[in-house]
């Protein structure tokens, strides 16, 4: 079957086989629905810049911006479908503007290509998604901090090799995840810096022979700078997507260890934590079972994020400079993975305050042998060299005479069980949240100003 070429942005009035059309269009009509509001916003900034540089009549720019705002509003309500014959969001937007505004609608494409148009839409989407995920991670970090404060002195056996090792506390355990997520929030700022460069104006990767003002476009969209090199704009496709997903996967790596611990500590054999029924499901055959499905699925999602980051990286690598159609395949796994990350971080927020500390069971498991290293240091404080003290304790354990002074020593250095540094941690988390919220405010103000045209 041969399809007509009308309405495609690249149409040259030549026939196209329907199977080839389906293959080349792929899933863009579905995946681009997520990008439509960002595509419309970027197009509004483009129209305003064209008017400011004298390349577009101001009244035409105003009409285009109003039309784009209508499209953005419809897209957010899932009320702006992309027909398969229009291929993608860019074509659907331009077709709608042309239908409603006449020839004015066709002027929106002046001075740009679908290449820099899609990169801009992705950049705006990624920028927003990264900061939204950052707030989710900040919520989780603050949840771990609250848990650490509430249970900072409650005994908990510390494990290495899944064997009891040294005395710990629930506070020391929870503070570790708060600190890990704080590191991820600090790393987020570097990833954001990679996204904080406006690519529009690079066109197909070689600029345009028109007096456009790329700096103005960047300012209108709340970017701090322009991504100068048009070639680098195209070469960065996939690089930034990978960076964002690797960041999400790294945050997931912090949470995966927590989820593993919860899975272990809530078993009957450990019994250190209780898992509320809301986070469990039953068995179809065993009436007594309460399975930690939320914990296990969340743990799997953490690994899924690493897989998505690897998939996007593999698609994008191994290509020469400039644009190649392979890059179209990045959108589906990228969008799916960011939605998955958002669901993951959101569902874990109510889990933390719901965990039930079984203090008696955990304290009972903190047996005397955990204090072997502590007792060696007691002997060191009395003058013995550490290796001699180590052998003395080992002999006492072997003889069955080991009776440590549990209260003699505790780790009072910064970060130890006796000095978790939670106030400093709280302050740094607050700073990280403020940074994210400030960036979101900049973006919101830029968007409001564009639509207020």
Map tokens 């400030």 to a residue: 438
Q: Measured between alpha carbons, how far is 195 from 200 in angstroms, rounded to an integer?
A: 13
Of residues 283, 321, 367, 427, which has the active-site annotation? Answer: 283
Of residues 6, 161, 284, 382, which has the active-site annotation? Answer: 161
Burial of residue 284 (CB within 10 Å: 0-12, 13-18, 19+) is exposed
Query: Which positions ≥6 away from 185 have C-beta within 8 Å?
Result: 134, 137, 138, 141, 429, 432, 433, 436
CB 51 within 8 A of CB 57: yes
CB 42 within 8 A of CB 115: no
CB 429 within 8 A of CB 138: yes
Q: Measured between alpha carbons, how far is 54 from 60 in angstroms, rounded to an integer?
A: 11
Query: Which positions ≥6 away from 57 have C-beta within 8 Å?
Result: 51
Q: Does the annotation mark 161 as catalytic?
A: yes
Residue 23 has a CB neighbour count (10 Å cut-off) of 9
Q: Measured between alpha carbons, how far is 391 from 344 in angstroms, rounded to an integer?
A: 48
The total number of residues shown for the chain amounts to 453
CB 293 within 8 A of CB 379: no
Q: Which residues are catalytic?
A: 161, 283
């Amino acid at each position: 079957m041969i399809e007509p070429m009308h309405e495609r942005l690249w149409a040259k009035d030549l026939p196209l086989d329907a199977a080839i059309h389906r293959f080349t269009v792929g899933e863009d009509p579905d995946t681009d629905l997520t990008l439509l509001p960002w595509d419309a916003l970027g197009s509004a900034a483009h129209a305003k810049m064209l008017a400011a540089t004298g390349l577009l009549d101001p009244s035409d720019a105003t009409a285009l911006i109003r039309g784009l705002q209508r499209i953005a509003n419809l897209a957010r309500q899932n009320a702006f479908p992309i027909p398969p014959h229009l291929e993608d969001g860019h074509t659907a937007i331009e077709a709608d503007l042309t239908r409603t505004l006449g020839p004015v609608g066709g002027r929106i494409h002046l001075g740009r290509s679908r290449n820099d148009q899609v990169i801009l839409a992705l950049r705006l989407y990624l920028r927003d998604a990264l900061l939204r995920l950052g707030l989710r991670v900040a919520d989780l970090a603050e949840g771990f901090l609250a848990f650490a404060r509430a249970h900072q002195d409650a005994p908990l056996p510390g494990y290495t090799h899944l064997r009891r090792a040294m005395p710990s506390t629930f506070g020391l355990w929870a503070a570790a995840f708060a600190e890990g997520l704080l590191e991820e929030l600090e790393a987020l700022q570097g990833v954001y810096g990679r996204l904080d460069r406006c690519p529009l104006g690079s066109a197909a990767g070689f600029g345009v022979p028109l007096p456009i003002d790329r700096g103005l476009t960047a300012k209108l969209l709340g970017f701090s700078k322009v991504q100068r090199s048009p070639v680098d704009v195209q070469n960065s496709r996939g690089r930034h997507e990978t960076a964002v997903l690797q960041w999400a996967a790294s945050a997931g790596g912090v949470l995966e260890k927590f989820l593993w611990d919860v899975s272990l500590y809530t078993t009957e054999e450990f019994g250190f934590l209780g898992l509320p029924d809301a986070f469990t499901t039953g068995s179809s055959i065993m009436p007594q079972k309460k399975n930690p499905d939320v914990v296990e699925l969340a743990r799997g999602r953490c690994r899924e994020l690493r897989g998505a980051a690897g998939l996007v990286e593999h698609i994008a690598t191994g290509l020469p400079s400039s644009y190649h159609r392979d890059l179209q395949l990045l959108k589906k796994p990228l969008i799916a993975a960011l939605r998955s990350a958002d669901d993951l971080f959101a569902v874990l927020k109510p889990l933390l305050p719901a965990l039930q500390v079984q203090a008696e069971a955990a304290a009972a498991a903190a047996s005397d042998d955990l204090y072997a290293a502590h007792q060696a240091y007691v002997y060191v404080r009395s003058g013995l060299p550490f290796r001699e003290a180590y052998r003395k304790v080992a002999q006492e354990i072997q003889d069955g005479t080991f009776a440590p002074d549990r209260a003699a020593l505790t780790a009072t250095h910064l970060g130890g069980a006796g000095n978790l540094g939670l106030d400093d941690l709280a302050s740094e988390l607050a700073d990280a949240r403020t940074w994210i919220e400030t960036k979101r405010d900049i973006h919101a103000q830029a968007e409001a100003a564009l639509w207020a045209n």
